[in-house]
Structure 1
Amino acid sequence: MKIGCPTEIKPQEFRVGMTPNAAQEAINHGHEVMIQSGAGAGAGFDNAAYEAVGAKIGETAEEIFAWADMIVKVKEPQAVERKMLREGQVLFTYLHLAPDPEQTRDLIESGCTAIAYETVTDDKGGLPLLAPMSEVAGRLAPQMGAWTLQKANGGRGVLMGGVPGVGPAKVVVIGGGVVGTHAARIAAGMGADVTVLDRSLPRMRYLDDVFGGTFKTMYASAGNTAEMAREADMVIGAVLIPGAAAPKLISRAQLSEMKPGAALVDVAIDQGGCFETSKATTHADPIYEVDGIMHYCVANMPGAVARTSTIALGNATMPYMLALADKGWAKACTDDPHLLNGLNVHAGKLTYYAVGKALGIDVTSPQVILKAA
């Protein structure tokens, strides 16, 4: 199979879809790999690193898309990239379709087979291709929130860990999954007073057993969430419904009840955000103010630490990429029902129910698609 990896063009996105190690593994399996010139530079991989393992270098994205049977990326294809997709071509990347009707429409019209990292599952009920970036984003969230809290950036001017005689920042993390756990660990490590809100009692017991008094837990009822938000210096939104739009957990009306200059960090922004006032921002212009509350809603947070993120993502995606290349998408998805859960679009049909529900689009069962293939 011909595997192509274009340069990411989303603003301030420095990650790359394939590391030289991934390219070498694919080539060792008998496949051809073409990397767009400079695609790995932001993550510290120059063209020579890819050429050394046998990959070809393409000059333009048009060349990559026209040549490849499978496109491997990091972020969802932008409008100009979606025009280059074609029927029968496999796209393997993050998609986050539920809040993005335009992308969904374009992928359906392209006729391609689009497999989303974020909806591939595992036998433990996890999301193995989302987890690495969730870990990175979770660990970044308190760091970015602490920067947002600085007075020069419009924040309250509160230091996360305080100093002797001055209390620490109060940080509320909504969601105790992968993102929330890593965010709580880092925030607590910075000396903040941290509370994690979640609706799963088993999960809260687990967090309490593993982390002890490192941070507190509380049931995420609407009342508790509102009360904790009023007291918080920083709220980190870390709620995920796989493949679906994120629920809105703090309304605009609640902002007036919060401390002036408090920070909202929305890690769920890729799925539409979990605060009513959230809108996607970029690393170039990451924060904005609504009703005196500072919002940090960068849609590709892990791109800020591109090398760490690229290597972590590559470690996770490589086995699935090789399975798709070795077997073809249909046989790979037949052999692995967890990979089949990643199928979002095929040959003009939407195949993921949560996206269809969010966007009001008819969905064809992926099992039906497989039988036809």
Structure 2
Amino acid sequence: MIAMPSGSVRRDAAARPAGHRKGPPRVDLHALREGLPPAVRSVVADYERHLTLERGLSPHTVRAYVGDVVSLLAFLTEGEDGPVRGFAELDIGLLRAWLARQRAGGSGRTTLARRAASARTFTAWAHRQGVLKADPGGRLAAPRAHRTLPGVLREDQADELMRASEAGAAQRDPVALRDRAIVELLYATGIRVSELCGLDVGAVDFPRRVVSVIGKGDKERMVPFGVPAAGALTAWLEAGRPELVSERAAHALFLGVRGNRLDPRAARRVVHEAVAAVPGAVDMGPHGLRHSAATHLLEGGADLRSVQELLGHATLATTQLYTHVTVDRLKAIHDRAHPRA
């Protein structure tokens, strides 16, 4: 049994001062974690290693899961009838009370759904490790996250975006050549921005026109790209990349202006600026191009399973979101064009 004495942990959230922006207050999760008793911090560290090494989750996902668990374990010291002293007292009632605290602090449905999932993942692991005698997370439910329809480019807007990026690269400026290759490859493949920035030169197979992508969970998949993307990549590799490459990122496919591997923030800025030049297009970053690619594939007749494989989705349910997008667009067209709409 791991004791969790009262007063040893900082509170999960402070009161929001007057005039503060809406939404839950920011929590210093590092300080919160350091405030946990040593034995509890050890459990958190073991769980973090499990997520990283055994499940192969991305650093961003690991931080989110661990942060939620730290918040939960800190909450265990705040029982109404005095401090909760150990993991044995972690039951469904306390899990629900923890979510209620998050809701009262301003967390939305999407955040609550993610935190409930984090808690279920942790309690299942803790039960397998013998930290918990039972798994209370199996009974934990949370409001379903709102699944909003993502904004996408129309096909004519996507064409205009590609033409504009090609025109910008006509002067053979290294950065313009890079930016054109980024936009073309993101739209051609639908890969994530993190996957794009992680590509090495050797990942591109020009004869077969496929790129080897390392996705979530370190899973590799082969994604095809078309002739325009191949042309943009060739121009970048022959005339642009040699002007920027340094020993620090000798193998990276895409580079920043200082010769380092391209940062996702820089890639997002490239896409936002490129889309801004298309009249009437909704503002979007790389994820918007991913949405657009998936939508246009389905509208062109691709089946869900193939699109799932291309996008690297773990479940078909995630890919099915794009069927909602296409149906929504079809309904909008019907409303505008059908005389009996």
Q: Which has the higher helix share?
A: 2
* Greater RCO, 1 or 2 (C-alpha within 8 Å, sep 6+): 1
Q: Which has the higher strand share?
A: 1
TM-score between both structures, scaled by the size of structure 2: 0.21
Larger radius of gyration: 2
TM-score between both structures, scaled by the size of structure 1: 0.19
